[in-house]
């Protein structure tokens, strides 16, 4: 019974719940980033590079079956047919997704840290010297000037 109790304490701790919320939001955010890359960034890169489509860059490793009726130059069709293909274009797209996602998370963390930090104002003036310290300094100075 103690394992169940320990698990319950672990599961309801704030950090675990925060992590669960973060994972769920991260999954939803990932689909947004994938759409930004696929629907907005990659078409622009395609236009700039003269129609290059990263998602269709691959090296065929296996043989095309005789019953295959799809496009032999289509990565998606070959994958569906079960042909072994080395899809480096999909990998490039995934790397671009990761870089964009990492950059956006960096900006979010930077913004949140800025909100958490108190405003850094000019350094405060030192407090006035206490009266007793001033008096002791006067005594010290007068003793220095007194002949022995």
| Bigger pLDDT: 11 vs 88 | 88
How far apart (Å, rounded) are the C-alpha atoms in residues 101 and 6? 35
User: pLDDT category, 10, cuts 50, 70, 90?
Assistant: confident
pLDDT of residue 132: 92
* Per-residue pLDDT at 130: 92
Does the pLDDT value for residue 148 go beyond 90? no
Q: Which CATH class is domain 2-122?
A: mainly alpha
The domain spans of the chain are: 2-122
Tens of pLDDT, residue by residue over 28-64, are 888 887 788 778 887 887 788 777 767 788 888 888 8
Cα separation, 21 vs 29, whole angstroms = 12
The residue-averaged pLDDT of 19-33 equals 82
Which pLDDT does position 118 carry in this prediction? 67
What is the rounded CA–CA span in Å between residue 116 and residue 109? 10
Instruction: Give the per-residue pLDDT at 25.
Output: 84
Q: What is the pLDDT of residues 77-119, one digit of tens each?
A: 888 888 898 989 888 888 887 888 788 878 888 888 888 776 6
Cα 27 to Cα 6: distance, rounded to the nearest angstrom: 28
Q: What pLDDT score was predicted for residue 147?
A: 73
């Amino acid at each position: 019974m103690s394992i169940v109790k320990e698990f319950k304490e672990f599961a309801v701790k704030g950090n675990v719940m925060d992590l669960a919320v973060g994972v769920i939001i991260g999954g939803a955010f990932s689909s947004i980033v994938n759409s930004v890359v696929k629907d907005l960034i990659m078409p622009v890169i395609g236009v700039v590079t003269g129609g290059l489509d990263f998602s269709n860059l691959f090296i065929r490793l296996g043989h095309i079956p005789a019953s295959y009726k799809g496009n032999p130059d289509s990565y998606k069709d070959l994958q569906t047919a079960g042909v072994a293909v080395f899809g480096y274009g999909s990998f490039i797209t995934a790397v671009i997704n990761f870089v964009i996602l990492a950059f956006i998370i960096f900006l979010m963390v930077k913004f949140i840290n800025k909100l958490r930090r108190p405003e850094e104002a000019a350094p405060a003036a030192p407090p006035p010297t206490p009266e007793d310290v001033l008096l002791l300094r006067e005594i010290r100075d007068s003793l220095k000037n007194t002949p022995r």
